């Protein structure tokens, strides 16, 4: 029975995020399958509710794929559930879970979750739209309405944990919902080049290429990892051209623009952004509140507005961390019998892992920015129009506005400019540059680390 559950978990792990798998399936066990009445062991009643509401369909499918007859599925709380999710072991050079997944992927059922690579949990209905992603979502909807036309290729970029994978897989799922006969394939670029290497080693390079030529929609995730893979780039370039000439939809995600990825061929980098590039930015406070409310609704949890606002205010990294902290607080709420707000108010929870303390004064920001750019405060706040000094001054304006919410008049006084219109222009310039300039993004993050460190 352990092997059955281990294999089922291997399938489940491919369909949900690593954080959710670790949270909800780490301490589970398969107690009984007698007469088709499945009993799964969990460690408390909160897990029963979450697994039944969120993952029952996935569990059912995984068990059926392992030839388990199912009449009912129940969950049983056990005081001490011995973990059945063991660390992956490499035996005779093979990872048993990877081998199991590989076997499942080799099935001929093109509509199964693993054959097309798509995770059915990713939909547009559960993707929260905000000011940080509305343009990308608009383009995604256009693709769903008419794939292979206006936004082809569709290049989506942004930092980790902002929803790139969710959005592009949602496009694939929505397209299949409209037309189940479409041949849609999602794959991380790391899988693409490892499969390509296997094909070359086995003398099946042409078959590998033909497999992709039959597609209607190709979705490539984490393109930045193609760095230093020249042969894989060449093969992808050929596949890209073949699909593009046939008006097939190509979708690519990355943590940065192709032109900013070292060793990527210039011609390929240019073609990937033919139809423009769309970025996902860090969510603003209002966006984070909307995300948490949507997650609470999805989980059937009642959470006070004050608790949602507290979490949104204090988690300043990405959506993945935001949702992770939220799930942790909900779990503690259930275990301790307190509401999320009561936990926060009595100091039982802290989000200091992602919380950043506010600087003590505007002076601190100005000094840190000047030092970062090897300038004195006097130089940076002077009247010089030299490019690197002007950029430093505008970065200081941006941080004073973004981190301290100072008025433009106050910012003008801090950085030594005459009026608020210059400040408005400087802030706007930095915001625009941040969409395309990852070097500037990195610089600002480094400055913030020095301020809050």
- In 3-state terms, what secondary structure has residue 184? strand
Q: Return the pLDDT at 92.
A: 41
Q: What is the pLDDT of residue 226?
A: 86
Q: What is the pLDDT of residue 79?
A: 56
Q: Looking at residue 91, what is its pLDDT?
A: 38
Which contacts (CB < 8 Å, 24+ apart) does range 186-189 have?
186/116, 186/117, 186/118, 186/219, 186/221, 187/117, 187/219, 187/220, 187/221, 188/220, 188/221, 188/222, 188/225, 189/220, 189/221, 189/222, 189/223, 189/224, 189/225, 189/226, 189/232, 189/236
Query: What local confidence, expressed as pLDDT, does residue 215 receive?
Result: 94
Q: What is the pLDDT of residues 4-57, one digit of tens each?
A: 888 888 888 877 766 677 778 877 888 888 888 999 988 777 678 778 888 888
Cβ(232)–Cβ(194) below 8 Å: no
Looking at residue 276, its pLDDT comes to 86
Task: Please tell me which of 74-78, 100-104, 168-172, 233-237 the model is most confident about, judged by mean pLDDT.
Answer: 168-172
Diameter over CA atoms, the chain: 82
Query: pLDDT value at position 365?
Result: 92
Higher pLDDT among residues 226 and 88, named by residue:
226
Residue 129 has pLDDT above 50, yes or no: yes
Report residue 30 as tokens: 């398969």
Q: Is residue 395 predicted with pLDDT exceeding 90?
A: yes
pLDDT at 452 over 60: yes
Q: How confident is the model at residue 403 (pLDDT cuts 50, 70, 90)?
A: confident
Residue 351 pLDDT level (bands cut at 50, 70, 90): low
Name which of 224-233, 252-261, 346-355 the model is least confident about: 346-355
- What 3-state DSSP class applies to 80? coil
Q: Which residue has the tokens 């802290």?
A: 350
Residue 331 has what pLDDT?
86
Neighbours of 429 (CB within 10 A): 16
Which H or E element spans position 306? helix 305-314
Helices (H) and strands (E) in the chain, counts: 22, 8
Q: pLDDT band at residue 239, thresholds of 50, 70 and 90?
A: very high
- List beta partners, residue 184: 217
Contacts of 278 (CB under 8 A, 6+ apart): 135, 136, 139, 154, 155, 156, 157
Q: Up-side HSE of residue 69: CA atoms within 13 Å toward CB?
A: 5
List domains and CATH numbers for the chain.
2-97 (3.30.300.180), 107-279 (3.40.50.300), 285-345 (1.10.8.60), 362-452 (1.10.1750.10)
What is the per-residue pLDDT for 251? 97
What contacts 205, CB < 8 A, 6 or more positions away?
196, 199
Is the distance from CB of 184 to CB of 118 less than 8 angstroms?
yes
Euclidean distance between CA atoms 263 and 225, whole angstroms: 11
Q: For residue range 52-83, what is the model confidence (pLDDT) as tens digits?
A: 888 888 899 888 888 888 999 998 887 544 43
pLDDT number for residue 442: 76
Please count the other Cβ atoms lying within 10 Å of the Cβ belonging to residue 211: 15
Q: What percent of the chain has pLDDT over 90?
A: 32
Instruction: Name the average pLDDT for the chain.
Output: 83
Classified as helix, coil or strand, 381 is coil
Q: How confident is the model at residue 352 (pLDDT cuts 50, 70, 90)?
A: low
Q: Are β-strands 29-32 and 37-42 bridged in parallel, bridged antiparallel, or unpaired? A: antiparallel
- What is the per-residue pLDDT across 84-94, written as a single tens digit (0 to 9) for each? 333 333 334 44
**What is the per-residue pLDDT across 288-318, written as a single tens digit (0 to 9) for each?**
999 999 888 888 888 899 989 889 888 877 8
Amino acid 285: pLDDT = 86
């Amino acid at each position: 029975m352990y092997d059955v559950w281990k294999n089922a978990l291997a399938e489940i792990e491919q369909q949900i995020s690593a954080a959710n798998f670790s949270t909800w399936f780490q301490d589970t066990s398969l107690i009984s399958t007698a007469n088709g009445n499945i009993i799964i062991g969990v460690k408390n009643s909160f897990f029963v509710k979450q697994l039944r509401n969120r993952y029952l369909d996935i569990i059912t499918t995984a068990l059926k794929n392992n030839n388990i007859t199912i009449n009912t599925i129940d969950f049983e709380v056990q005081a001490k559930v011995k973990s059945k999710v063991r660390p992956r072991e490499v035996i005779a050079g093979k990872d048993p879970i990877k081998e199991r997944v590989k076997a499942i992927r080799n099935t001929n059922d093109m509509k199964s979750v693993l054959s097309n690579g798509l995770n059915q949990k990713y939909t547009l209905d559960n993707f929260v739209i905000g000011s940080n992603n509305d343009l990308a979502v608009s383009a995604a909807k256009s693709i769903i309405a008419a794939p292979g036309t206006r936004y082809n290729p569709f290049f989506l970029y942004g930092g980790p944990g902002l929803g790139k994978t969710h959005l592009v897989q949602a496009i694939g799922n929505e397209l299949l919902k409209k037309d189940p006969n479409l041949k849609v394939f999602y794959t991380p670029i790391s899988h693409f080049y490892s499969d390509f290497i296997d094909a070359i080693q086995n003398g099946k390079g042409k078959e590998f290429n033909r497999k992709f030529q039959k597609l209607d929609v190709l979705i490539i995730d984490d393109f930045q990892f193609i760095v230093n893979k020249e042969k894989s780039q060449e093969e992808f370039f050929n596949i890209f051209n073949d699909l593009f000439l046939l008006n097939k939809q190509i979708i690519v995600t990355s943590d940065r623009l192709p032109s900013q990825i070292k060793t990527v061929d210039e011609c390929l980098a240019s073609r990937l952004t033919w139809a423009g590039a769309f970025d996902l930015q860090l969510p603003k406070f209002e966006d984070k509140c909307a995300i948490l409310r949507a997650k609470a609704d999805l989980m059937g949890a009642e959470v006070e507005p004050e608790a949602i606002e507290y979490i949104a205010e204090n988690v300043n990294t990405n959506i993945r961390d935001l949702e992770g902290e939220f799930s942790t607080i909900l779990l503690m709420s259930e275990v301790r019998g307190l509401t999320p707000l009561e936990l926060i108010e009595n100091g039982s929870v802290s989000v200091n892992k992602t919380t950043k303390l506010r600087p003590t004064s505007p002076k601190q920001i100005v000094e840190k920015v000047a030092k970062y750019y090897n300038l004195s405060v006097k130089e940076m706040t002077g009247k010089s129009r030299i490019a690197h000094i002007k950029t430093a001054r505008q970065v200081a304006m941006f941080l004073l506005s973004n981190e301290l919410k100072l008025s433009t008049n106050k910012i003008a006084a801090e950085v030594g400019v005459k009026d608020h219109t210059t400040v408005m222009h400087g802030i706007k310039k930095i915001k625009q540059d941040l969409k395309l300039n990852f070097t500037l993004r990195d610089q600002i993050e480094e400055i913030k680390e020095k301020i809050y460190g």
